[in-house]
Structure 1
Amino acid sequence: MRKLIIVFILFWHFPVNAEKYIVASQNFNYYPHYNFKSSTHKGLIHTILQEFSAFSGHQFEYRPMPVLRLQRELEKGRIDLIYPDNPLFNNQDIFAKGKYYSHTIVRTIGGTMVNKADLRKDAANIKRLGVLWVLHHN
């Protein structure tokens, strides 16, 4: 994810009235980025927006929806932000016009390490998985 359509970063620099924004995401669990159905850990973007909300008074409502609806709903003005979003995800001629992308707020590197003896085992054999995420301030 290089650039995201999270314009809330701009709000930190310019005074605005507290408002309610609708944040849309793909309708599946994409933890550690988001899991809005969780009662405890809703993910990175929820944590970031909650911190911003405490500072600014803005409120955020989260709406999961099918991937193909995200850009159309944004174009229609029914949602305010999409997370994650990247200009490479979309048809530039149709959906990228007039959109603002923030600087990168998270970079993802994925991988796993297993014992040599476990190389051919499938996912059903996994008992524990650790997830690490770190926020960097530039």
Structure 2
Amino acid sequence: MPNHPAKRPPERNAALCRLWTLAAALVAACLLALVCAGPAPAEPVELTVGVERIDYPPYGSFRQGDYEGYARDLLDSFAIEYGYTMVYVPLPVKRLYQEFLETRTLDLKFPDSPDWNPARRRGLHIAYSDPACSYTDGILVKPENLGKGMGAIRTLGILAGFKPWLLTPPIDPRTIKISENASISGLLGKGLMGRVDGVYANVEAARHLLSAMGRADQLVLDPGLPHMTGCYRLSTITRPLVMQEFDRFLKTRSKLVDALKRKHGLDR
């Protein structure tokens, strides 16, 4: 048979081969980039935080529908570091207990304490954080009534949903008339006008609000009357891991926590 020279592949086939090679290289490069980049960052986990729907500076207040104060700054700082998004749910005090303890529609509650409403907490597995800040609750009176003792307190003003029976020494509810108010500002107003003989309130919150009203020192804590000190804590029933993370945050970011307390006047 006659020998024929080998045929060269057509130029079109060579071009196609080059295109396929380039495409394969691009695909490989993309796959390598994806592997190196790792998985896409997860969306922040949303946590609902039940808070008291009262104007309670410097701890927490609502201004034009926005929650602000020490609690907001503290919890937002924690959320940023641990990849959470906090959704603040303001509720009246009585309903806040119901939503947190009974219907369980809230992930977290602030402020909280195992000493508050202990009967409603019995049998529940509630996790509490380490102290987020301290507080003093006591009875404020007009300066001219300082030192007159409990005998001068015939009517005691309190916030609706709050209980003064934890004061030390305890108050006998049979001997004192209770006058409730939905806001601490309204409660202080009753005390200023003499409609109640004393106001049971958080001392720091009362100072802030009286100053804002231009009535600083017109109601003062009587240290001779029953009072109590304690700590506000974050709590949860459904998110115990979050509580462990929050405790770690309080320890590892103690300088930040102290700075926030100074910012809001809670370092005294």
TM over 0.5, shorter chain: yes
Q: 1:132 to 1:41 in 2, by over 3 A?
A: farther
Q: 1:81 to 1:35 in 2, by over 3 A?
A: same
- Bigger mean CA deviation after superposition, 48-57 or 31-40: 31-40
Structure 2 residue 98 is matched with structure 1 residue 72: yes
Residues 100-111 of structure 1 correspond to what in structure 2 (within 5 A)? 100-109=127-136
How many angstroms apart in 2 are the aligned matches of 1:72 and 1:41?
A: 21
**Sequence identity, in percent?**
23
Per-residue CA deviations over 1:35-65 (Å, capped at 9, x if unaligned) read 1336888111100111112212201111111
Larger Rg: 1 or 2? 2
Shift of 1:29: 0.9
Structure 2 residue 108 is matched with structure 1 residue 81: yes
Structure 2 unaligned segments of length 5 or more: list them: 1-42, 145-191, 193-209, 218-263
Counterpart residue number, 1:5: none
Counterpart residue number, 1:49: 75
Task: After the TM superposition, list the runs of 4 or more consecutive aligned residues in structure 1 that deviate by more than 3 angstroms.
Answer: 38-41, 122-125
Counterpart residue number, 2:267: 134
Give the TM-score normalised by the residue count of structure 2.
0.35
Aligned length: 110
State the secondary structure of the residue aligned to 1:89: coil
State the secondary structure of the residue aligned to 1:83: strand
How many angstroms apart in 2 are the aligned matches of 1:46 and 1:119?
A: 33
By relative contact order (CA 8 Å, sep 6+), the higher-ranking structure is 1
Give the TM-score normalised by the residue count of structure 1.
0.64
Please identify which structure carries the higher helix content. Answer: 2
How many angstroms apart in 2 are the aligned matches of 1:22 and 1:28?
A: 18
How many angstroms apart in 2 are the aligned matches of 1:109 and 1:29?
A: 17
Counterpart residue number, 1:114: none
Shift of 1:67: 1.1
Q: 1:26 to 1:106 in 2, by over 3 A?
A: same
Q: Which amino acid aligns with 1:133?
A: L
Please identify which structure carries the higher strand content. Answer: 2
